[in-house]
């Protein structure tokens, strides 16, 4: 699979609510990161983030949503990623790791409410025997530091 197609397939899993399948795309040391400074943020340590989650925390998030007592999922949230074509930013010959940027619009709907977010995703992908895997999915929002309502699924 071309890496650009992998990115599109990844978003499609989220839009279909297949969170376990989505989580399986991450490497063991994989991270999902939504920096509070958006694209300007250097690292996840010197400044806070809306989310900076390893496999353990991502698993917690996915498992929680399976619980009928995840109250905030009554009614359930649904999401739609609208992606621009991904572009390869970097390719590391030595490790085979590639970085892609994908501008997006993200809509999360729940009941009568919709949250609209825009930004650029940056994926660091590594090649594994089973195909591509995500070492890091970084989501640079346009307005991460401003007041936001609850964002319950994965951008």
Partner 1 sequence: MNNYRNRPDVIRALVQDDRVHRDVYLSEELFALEQEQFFANTWLYMGHASQVPNAGDFWSLDLAGRPVMMVRQPDGAVRVLYNRCAHKGSRLVTDECGNTGKFFRCPYHAWTYKLDGAPLAIPLKSGYEGTRLKECESGQGLTEIRHVHVYRDFVFARLSNEGPDFESYFGEVLHAIDNMVDRSPEGRLTVGGGVMRNIIHCNWKMYLENINDTVHPMSTHESATQAADALWQGRAPDAPKPMAMEQILPFGSGYDFFDKMGGRVFANGHSVLGVNFSIHSNYAQLPEYEEAMRAAHGAERAAEILQRSPQNSVFFPSLSVKGSPQAIRVIRPLAANRTLIEAWSFRAAGAPDLLFERAMNYNRLVFSPMSVVAHDDVHLFESMQQGLRAEGNEWVSLHRNFDPAELEQASMTTNGTNELLMRNQFRAWARFMTAGMETAA
The per-residue b/e assignment along 50-88, b for 16 or more CB within 10 angstroms, e otherwise, is: bbbbeeeebeebeeebeeeeeeebeeebebebebeebee
Nearest approach in angstroms of CB 40 to partner 1 is: 11
- The Cα 100–Cα 135 span in angstroms is 12
Whichever of 5 and 54 has its CB closer to partner 1, that residue is: 54
For residue 73, the minimal CB distance to partner 1 (Å) is 8
Report how far apart the first and last C-alpha atoms of the chain are (Å, whole number): 22
Taking the least distance from each CB to partner 1, the nearer of 61 and 135 is 61
- The residues binding partner 1 (CB under 8 A) are 34, 36-37, 45-52, 54, 56-57, 59-61, 63-65, 67, 69-72, 74, 145-152
Nearest distance in Å: CB 5, partner 1 = 27
Q: Looking at beta carbons only, is 50 or 88 nearer to partner 1? A: 50
């Amino acid at each position: 699979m071309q890496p650009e197609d992998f990115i599109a397939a990844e978003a499609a899993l989220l839009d279909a609510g297949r969170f376990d399948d989505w989580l399986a795309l991450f490497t063991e040391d994989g991270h999902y990161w939504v920096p509070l400074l958006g694209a300007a943020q250097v690292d996840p340590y010197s400044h806070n983030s809306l989310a900076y989650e390893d496999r353990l925390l991502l698993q917690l998030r996915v498992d929680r949503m399976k619980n009928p007592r995840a109250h905030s999922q009554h009614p359930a949230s649904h999401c739609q990623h609208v992606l621009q074509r991904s572009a390869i930013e970097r390719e590391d010959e030595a490790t085979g790791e590639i970085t892609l940027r994908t501008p997006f619009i993200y809509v999360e709907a729940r009941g009568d409410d919709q949250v609209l977010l825009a930004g650029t995703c940056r994926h660091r992908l590594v090649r594994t025997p089973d195909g591509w895997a995500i070492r890091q999915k970084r989501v640079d929002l346009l307005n991460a530091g401003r007041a936001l309502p609850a964002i319950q699924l994965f951008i």
